[in-house]
Amino acid sequence: MKKINPEIKIIDESKIFNLLEKSKQPDDSEINSILTKARELNGLNLSEVAALLNITAPNHLEQLFQTAHYVKDTIYGKRLVLFAPLYTSNYCANNCLYCGFRADNRDVHRKSLAPDEIEEETLAILEQGHKRILMLMGEDHRECNLDLFYKQIDKVYSVCDIKGSQIRRINVEIQPLSEEEFQVLKDIKIGTYTVFQETYHRNTYKMMHPTGKKSNYDWRIQVMDRALANGMHDVGIGVLFGLYDYRFEVLAMIMHAEHLEQNYGCGPHTISVPRVKPAKNAPASQNLQHQVDDLTFKKIVAILRCAVPYTGMILSTREPAWLRTELFDMGISQISAGSKTTPGGYKQAFNFDFEDAQFSLNDCRTSGEVIKSVIEQGYIPSFCTACYRLGRVGADFMDLAKPGLIKLFCLPNSLTTLMEYLVDYADENTKKIGLELIEREITEIPTENIRNKTREFLAKIEQGSKDLYL
């Protein structure tokens, strides 16, 4: 076990405030040179990000969006990875002022899923075609402890539906763990370990998290150091936009990513960009002083795509369908679909209503509807889980994620997993447009032998084979 230095300093607030103070509205030539650099796909530094955060003119924003689209398309092509969240418990001893699960919300029905309930939820998620899930819970050591959570992970992997499908990758989003706890988690079959810092601004953090273990800013911000020093490979970070000035938060998040890259040879595997949404009995989820409007939100996504081009960017169903659709072009590479944010929500096993949710959702379409519209937009819904299962993780994944290589592995795997979805779960119309998409996109695979191999896999999947990947 490797203990990290608890004095470690990750966020230099005065440096961020200085950058924000010094950086002014950039002129045409400055914007051109930053965006030209972004197109080289090597990322941007903090001063460049600070400059872009100041742009407001419609023509400059358009230039930024086009650059982000170029970066996204060059690195990720047309793939869009899909997943579903699985809430296993909404007990929580913390009191985050924006969250419907906070301890002081006495109106919410509480529930930790028993093994048979986990099985039912998993079957309902599989029925939607998902192969990758994100498991989450509140932080309450009596009602939803880690041992129970790890048993729930085993249970999910063991479930098989009538089509013979199983969940193939579980990512987790749970409380910050200690070094000792990571020594256990590293041997459990999970993909990415995610914790959102919520806000990187220390005083705001203090205000938003008045009691409970989460009130300790340092414990939370140092979690990825503890994780990477103790055997975890892929970590995910995020900001809950709306709690503090977005310009500060974006710079701090990049600073966090740089810190991880410098110290562990690999930055975050993913960045999430949730915005605060209304939640019951959660005073900080209403009338936000730092609310981020839709155009600014697009700017944030586009800047992040230019700044950390190889880091996956995740968008949830907190956002409405129309905005999600636009953000695919700006840099989002992973989306949730058909999400439920109450334990038992997929099976609607309990009499929970929408007020029992952790927060309100804005894209309430079924997974089938999301998948169809993604295909109509020309994107490939990908259910691929190959990299993590083949050990292409951490720095190895980042090396692989160079433009040409993604087309060699990820593109074929997105097509084979889409074919599996079409054969097993899609309606006739989705199947028709999905098959047309596969025929078009297969020609984008750069080498003949991999193209042929992919065709061979696709034919086998149509005949009933499963889980064929490169």
Give the binding range for ligand SF4 (CB under 6 A) out of 89-97, 155-163, 247-255, 298-306.
89-97
- Closest to ligand SF4 by CB, 244 vs 388, is 244
Q: Does 52 bind ligand SF4 (CB under 6 A)?
A: no
Size of the site for ligand SF4 (CB under 6 A): 9
Q: Does 94 bind ligand SF4 (CB under 6 A)?
A: yes
How do beta strands 312-315 and 193-194 pair? unpaired
Comparing C-alpha atoms, which of 380, 384, 365 is closest to residue 433? 380
Q: Give me the residue whose beta carbon is nearest to ligand SAM.
A: 359
The Cβ of residue 407 has, within 10 Å, a number of other Cβ atoms equal to 18
Given a contact cutoff of 8 angstroms between Cβ atoms, the answer to whether 359 and 316 are in contact is no
* 157 contact, one of ligand SAM, ligand SF4, none, CB 5-8 Å limit per kind: none
Separation between Cα atoms, residue 143 and residue 88, nearest integer Å:
11
Using N-to-C axis directions, what is the helix angle for 115-127 and 146-158, rounded to 10°? 50
Residue whose CB is less far from ligand SAM, 339 or 382: 339
Report the partner that residue 131 touches, choosing among ligand SF4, ligand SAM, none (CB closer than 5 to 8 A by kind): none
Query: Which partner, ligand SAM, ligand SF4, none, binds residue 285 by CB below 5 to 8 Å per kind?
Result: ligand SAM
The least distance separating ligand SF4 from the CB of residue 146, rounded to whole angstroms, comes to: 15
Listed in sequence order, the residues at least 6 apart from 42 whose beta carbon sits closer than 8 Å to its beta carbon are 309
Residue numbers at the binding site for ligand SAM (CB under 6 A): 98-99, 136, 138-139, 173-175, 195-196, 198, 240, 274, 276-277, 279, 282, 285, 318, 358-359
Tokens of 141: 């050591």
CA–CA distance, 460 with 454 (Å, rounded to integer): 10
Cβ closer to ligand SF4: 77 or 85?
A: 85
Which of 137, 47, 131, 52 shows the shortest CA–CA distance to 89?
137
- Between residue 136 and residue 155, which ones bind ligand SF4 under the rule CB under 6 A? 138-139
Cβ distance to ligand SF4 smaller for residue 94 or 417: 94
Under the binding rule (CB under 6 A), the answer on residue 92 touching ligand SF4 is yes
Q: Which does 196 bind (CB under 5 to 8 A by kind): ligand SAM, ligand SF4, none?
A: ligand SAM
Identify which range of 94-102, 222-230, 251-259, 420-428 contacts ligand SF4 by CB under 6 A. Answer: 94-102
Per CB under 6 A, which region of 76-84, 88-96, 220-228, 422-430 contacts ligand SF4?
88-96
Long-range CB pairs of 293-298 (<8 Å, 24+ gap) are: 294/323, 295/61, 296/246, 297/241, 297/273, 297/323, 297/327, 298/61, 298/65, 298/323, 298/326, 298/327, 298/330
State the amino acid at position 432 in one-letter form.
Answer: K
Burial-class residue 107 by CB neighbours within 10 Å (0-12, 13-18, 19+). exposed
Which residue, 318 or 340, is less far from ligand SAM as judged by CB? 318
Using the rule CB under 6 A, give the single segment among 92-100, 116-124, 305-313, 426-434 that binds ligand SF4. Answer: 92-100
Best CA proximity match to 337, nearest among 285, 375, 390: 375
> Between residues 24 and 202, which has the closer beta carbon with respect to ligand SF4?
202
Task: Report the alpha-carbon distance of residue 312 to residue 161 in Å, rounded.
Answer: 29
- Give the one entry of ligand SF4, ligand SAM, none that residue 23 binds, where binding means its C-beta sits below a cut-off of 5 to 8 angstroms depending on kind: none
Residue entry with tokens 């690999």: 266
Indicate which single residue of 96, 301, 330, 337 sits in contact with ligand SF4 (rule: CB under 6 A): 96
Give the residue carrying structure tokens 């009538």: 162
Q: How far is the CB of 214 from ligand SAM (least distance, A)?
A: 6
What distance in Å separates the CA atoms of residue 237 and residue 269, rounded to the nearest whole number? 8
Distance of closest approach, residue 371 Cβ to ligand SAM, in angstroms: 24
Q: How near is the Cβ of 174 to ligand SAM at its closest, in Å?
A: 5
According to DSSP, residue 293 is labeled P
Lay out the site mask for ligand SF4 across 193-232 (x = CB under 6 A, - = otherwise): ---------------------x------------------
Report the partner that residue 102 touches, choosing among ligand SF4, ligand SAM, none (CB closer than 5 to 8 A by kind). ligand SF4
- The answer to whether 4 and 225 are in contact (CB under 8 A) is yes
Using CB distances below 5 to 8 A depending on partner kind, what does residue 318 bind out of ligand SAM, ligand SF4, none? ligand SAM
- Residue 53 has which token pair? 């955060």
Positions in 100-119 near ligand SF4 (CB under 6 A): 101-102
b/e per residue 152-188 (b: at least 16 CB within 10 A): bbebbeebebeeebbbbbbbbbbbbbebebbeebeee
Q: According to CB under 6 A, which one of 64, 75, 99, 458 is a site residue for ligand SF4?
A: 99
In this structure, what DSSP letter does residue 128 have? T
Q: Which is nearer to ligand SAM, 122 or 199 (CB)?
A: 199
Quick check: 411 and 79 in contact, CB under 8 A? yes
The distance of closest approach from Cβ of residue 150 to ligand SAM in the complex, given in angstroms and rounded to an integer, is 16
Answer for the pair 370, 335: CB distance below 8 angstroms, yes or no.
yes
Site for ligand SF4, rule CB under 6 A: 92, 94, 96, 99, 101-102, 138-139, 214
